[in-house]
């Protein structure tokens, strides 16, 4: 969350604001998969209240940024503001800008953090995959100074790491699916979906389809190396078409970097019985606990 807030609105210097934004964003995200009953005390109601608070806080931020044109931060908010002031671009209202900021932060927060949590869990449960990941990343670290950072070429060469991220994402199926509206009558296998209907594409199903992913319940990162699954027409881990996730590479990059430093420094052992709930959202309600040791 802190990373996304930094990329989107550079709030890291203001700890109080960051904390408030973080809490409100989290409350909104909790309300996504709830029954929409707007009664005091329900998660949905708390989500609506948190959203109103977010709109207020972000409205103030937009106002301040507009006023201080010369001290801009070069983050996503600045880019949106610059575009909104450019007469060649579609003019956006403050309300639209705030909506976009909320969408960026929320879509970049839950997704990457849940996949990361699950990748660590799957790697713990599959030592062979963990060893292979360590081998690839130790090779990348070889010859680098002590306080190194990864560069783009390093990232591009992390093919097994990428496979681990995609496999963790496939197995986890966060978000359950996505929505589309038919623009014409559409026939699929003899069934007609009339124009204007909303269709829910269940990625929980497509991600476990044995035709695309043989032995779908097995955590097998190697499957991504063997065939070009990422360009398969049923590859929908990040949605598809015109609304494909715009943060796809950023999400994979964040998780890959974290895994690089984790796996080249530590091995990890689960402590106690960690519970993972998969519906309506993937979460570890009591946290996931690991004991780390140097490797
Ligand atoms: C592992 C991480 C991620 C996963 C699994 C993921 C998944 C998805 C999915 C399934 C969609 C729906 C696409 C559709 O309807 O076809 C989506 C949309 C979107 N994602 Fe991501 N996402 C991830 C990371 C990110 C990050 C890091 C950001 C930005 C910081 C981001 C920003 C967005 C936005 C703005 C949309 C809406 C795109 C649109 O409607 O045009 N996502 N994402």
| Total domain count, the chain | 2
Mean pLDDT of the chain: 92
- Judgement on whether residues 132 and 208 belong to the same structural domain of the protein: yes
4 lines ligand 1 (CB under 6 A): yes
- Judgement on whether residues 80 and 157 belong to the same structural domain of the protein: no
CA 286 / ligand 1 centre spacing (Å): 26
Could you tell me if residue 210 is inside a domain? yes
**Closest C-alpha to ligand 1, atom 16:** 239
Q: How many CB atoms lie within 10 A of CB 202?
A: 14
- Judgement on whether residues 171 and 239 belong to the same structural domain of the protein: yes
- Judgement on whether residues 149 and 281 belong to the same structural domain of the protein: yes
- Judgement on whether residues 78 and 131 belong to the same structural domain of the protein: no
Q: How confident is the model at residue 92 (pLDDT cuts 50, 70, 90)?
A: confident
Atom number in ligand 1 closest to CA 240: 16
pLDDT for position 87: 67
- Judgement on whether residues 47 and 133 belong to the same structural domain of the protein: no
Is 89 annotated to bind a ligand? Reply is no
213 lines ligand 1 (CB under 6 A): no
- Judgement on whether residues 151 and 233 belong to the same structural domain of the protein: yes
111 lines ligand 1 (CB under 6 A): yes
Q: How confident is the model at residue 74 (pLDDT cuts 50, 70, 90)?
A: confident
Ligand 1 site-directed mutation target among 245, 251, 255, 259, most atoms within 8 Å of CB: 245
Q: By residue range, what is the domain housing residue 19? A: 1-92
Least confident of 9-18, 19-28, 148-157, 203-212: 9-18
Ligand 1 site-directed mutation target among 80, 107, 198, most atoms within 8 Å of CB: 107
Give the distance, in angstroms, between the CA of residue 59 and the centroid of all CA atoms in the same chain. 25
Could you tell me if residue 118 is inside a domain? no
Give dist(CA 113, CA 101) in Å, integer. Answer: 18
Where among 45, 73, 92 does a domain terminate? 92
Write the DSSP string, 270-282: E-S----B-SSS-
- Judgement on whether residues 196 and 278 belong to the same structural domain of the protein: yes
- Judgement on whether residues 133 and 279 belong to the same structural domain of the protein: yes
pLDDT for position 121: 97
Atom number in ligand 1 closest to CA 252: 1
Could you tell me if residue 97 is inside a domain? no
pLDDT for position 72: 65
- Judgement on whether residues 172 and 285 belong to the same structural domain of the protein: yes
CA 186 / ligand 1 centre spacing (Å): 26
Give the CATH number, domain containing residue 159. Answer: 1.10.630.10
Could you tell me if residue 42 is inside a domain? yes
179 lines ligand 1 (CB under 6 A): no
pLDDT for position 9: 85
- Judgement on whether residues 150 and 70 belong to the same structural domain of the protein: no
Give dist(CA 258, CA 32) in Å, integer. Answer: 27
Give dist(CA 234, CA 208) in Å, integer. Answer: 11
Could you tell me if residue 137 is inside a domain? yes
pLDDT for position 70: 59
104 lines ligand 1 (CB under 6 A): yes
């Amino acid at each position: 969350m802190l990373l996304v807030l930094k990329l989107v609105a550079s709030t890291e210097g203001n700890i109080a604001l960051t904390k408030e934004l973080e809490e409100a964003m989290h409350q909104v995200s909790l309300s996504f998969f709830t029954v929409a009953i707007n009664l005091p005390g329900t998660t949905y109601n708390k989500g609506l209240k948190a959203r109103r608070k977010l709109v207020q806080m972000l409205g103030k931020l937009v106002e301040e940024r507009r006023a201080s044109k010369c001290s801009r931060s070069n983050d996503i908010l600045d880019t949106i503001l610059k575009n909104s002031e450019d007469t060649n671009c579609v003019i956006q209202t403050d309300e639209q800008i705030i909506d976009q900021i909320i969408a960026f932060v929320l879509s970049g927060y839950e997704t990457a953090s849940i996949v990361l949590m699950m990748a660590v869990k799957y790697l713990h449960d599959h030592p062979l995959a963990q060893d292979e990941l360590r081998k690839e990343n130790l090779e990348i670290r070889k010859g680098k100074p002590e306080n190194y950072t990864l560069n783009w070429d390093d990232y591009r060469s992390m093919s097994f790491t990428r496979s681990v991220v995609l496999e963790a994402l496939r197995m986890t199926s966060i978000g359950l699916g996505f929505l589309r509206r038919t623009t014409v009558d559409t026939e699929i296998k003899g069934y007609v979906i009339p124009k204007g209907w909303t269709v829910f594409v269940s990625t929980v199903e497509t991600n476990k389809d044995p035709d695309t992913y043989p032995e779908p319940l097995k955590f097998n990162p190697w499957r991504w190396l063997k065939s070009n699954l990422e360009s398969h027409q049923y590859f929908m881990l990040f949605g598809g078409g015109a609304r494909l996730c715009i943060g796809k590479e950023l999400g994979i990059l964040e998780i890959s970097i974290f895994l690089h430093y984790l796996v080249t420094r530590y091995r990890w052992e689960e402590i106690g019985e960690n519970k993972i709930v998969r519906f309506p959202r993937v979460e570890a309600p009591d946290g996931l606990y690991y004991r780390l040791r140097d490797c």
